[in-house]
Amino acid sequence: MSKVWFVTGAGSGIGTAIAKAALRASDRVVATGRNLDKVCNALHDVASEKLAFVQLDVADETQAKAAVEEAVKRFRRIDVVVNNAGYSLLGNFEEMSLPELESQLATNFYGVVHVMRAVLPVMRKQRSGHLINISSMAGVIGFRHCAAYAASKFAVEGLSLSVAAEVEQFGIKVTLVEPGFFRTDLLDERNVRWPSKSIEDYAADAKPKDVWSAYNGTQQGDPDKLGKVLVEIARMTNPPKQFYAGSDAVMTIRPALEARLQEIKDYEALSKSTDGTF
């Protein structure tokens, strides 16, 4: 059956690719973004009555409510929400200011919160729906220079896994997507934010900008292929709770999770030693 998608940050990269893949599957799409011209330009070649454009800066709760209302007005329901909008603040944690950290969370975490709070009543009423929350490898593993970004994505993981257990009873599914490196604008000079402050002690290390900029334009993941796979996942009766997208994600996350399991084994006796004898 044709589905109605609601995609945040649809003006580039993975968001655009998902919107196009859903339209190719004959679904309907509400493509949202904070810069609506950019979203319209990115999708102008697939414009049709199955595609609606709606203004949404996810950091703004009021806009999230209004965008969901607009989507329901247009297509009467929402089947799949893709919380995709995001950016990365990269650098040493100590060099970040609190406002820089808060802005990262305002988009990457609270943006997801705002959209989920707006859309869950709709899905609950429908007794169906699928939330697809785009996290990251950095939502599963901590990486150097990624403290703020990883914190925002780990928060999305905790939120999603917990809410999933609460809303399953209403027929609502939740899937986290942990992409490896995908060829998008995420690491483009214009989009990455770097800490405004620098601390001399970190100067001897490789500069975060040099490390991360090197990935830009060389990422292996193809957003169009990910879009297609997410359309497939949205049609599954039992979709994955956590989907690791790309062979780099699988190759990085598998050993990290195996190491975590090993640590449980190594420290099992010490863990159990904290049990009370009440």
Q: Which residues are catalytic?
A: 135, 149, 153
184 near ligand NAP, rule: CB under 6 A: yes
Q: Can you say whether residue 191 is alpha, beta or left, with left for phi > 0 and alpha for psi between -120 and 50 degrees?
A: alpha
Which part of the chain contacts ligand NAP (CB under 6 A), choosing from 79-87, 123-131, 251-259, 268-276? 79-87
Q: Which amino acid does the sequence have at 175?
A: T
Burial class (CB in 10 A: 0-12, 13-18, 19+), 193: middle
CA dist., res. 252 & res. 78, Å (int): 34
Which part of the chain contacts ligand NAP (CB under 6 A), choosing from 13-21, 119-127, 161-169, 227-235? 13-21
Using CB under 6 A, count the residues that bind ligand NAP: 31
Binding to ligand NAP (CB under 6 A) within 192-211 occurs at none
- Residue choice 4, 19, 31, 33 for contact with ligand NAP (CB under 6 A): 33
Query: Among all chains, which residue has been given the structure tokens 């000079």?
Result: 189
Structure tokens at 229: 């796979």
* CB burial readout 246-263, b (16+ within 10 A) else e: bebbeebbeeeeeeeeee
Structure tokens at 155: 């928060």
Q: Which amino acid does the sequence have at 50?
A: K
5 near ligand NAP, rule: CB under 6 A: no
Strands 172-179 and 129-134, how do they pair? parallel
For the chain, how long is the longest CA-to-CA vector? 68
Binding to ligand NAP (CB under 6 A) within 35-54 occurs at 35, 38
176 near ligand NAP, rule: CB under 6 A: no
Per-residue contact track with ligand NAP, 249 to 268, x per CB under 6 A?
--------------------
Binding to ligand NAP (CB under 6 A) within 128-157 occurs at 134, 136
Q: Which amino acid does the sequence have at 249?
A: A
58 near ligand NAP, rule: CB under 6 A: yes
Q: How many residues does the chain have?
A: 278
182 near ligand NAP, rule: CB under 6 A: yes
Burial class (CB in 10 A: 0-12, 13-18, 19+), 127: exposed
70 near ligand NAP, rule: CB under 6 A: no
160 near ligand NAP, rule: CB under 6 A: no
- Residue choice 185, 222, 224, 248 for contact with ligand NAP (CB under 6 A): 185
Q: Which residues here bind ligand NAP, judged by CB under 6 A?
A: 8-9, 11-15, 33-35, 38, 56-59, 84-87, 107, 111, 134, 136, 179, 181-182, 184-186, 191, 219
